[in-house]
Amino acid sequence: MKDILYIQIIVNYVESAKAFRENTAAVSSYEGSPLEPEFEALWQAREDIFNRWHNAAETLRELPPEYMAQAVAEIEKI
């Protein structure tokens, strides 16, 4: 059962890291005004994604060493 939880922690981190990178690219390439609702939505999503990523990173630090190697391998694939 713990194995499944550890894998879910790794997947959650990888997915949130990917989402954070995608959002960073969207924010960086946005050509409109920062006052437009579209930019505000991107920025709000960024805050939500960052919080998810940060929480996932904190949880990742608690993995047993044998799962950390797997986590590093998955992170390197991003």
> Can you list the residues of the chain whose pLDDT is less than 50?
none
Q: Answer for the pair 20, 53: CB distance below 8 angstroms, yes or no.
A: yes
- pLDDT at res. 71: 87
- pLDDT at res. 24: 96
Alpha helices in the chain (DSSP H): 2-29, 37-60, 65-76
CA 51 to CA 22: how far, in whole Å? 15
- Residue 60: other Cβ atoms inside 10 A: 19
Any idea where the domains of the chain sit in the sequence?
Answer: 2-76
Q: What is the pTM of this model?
A: 0.83
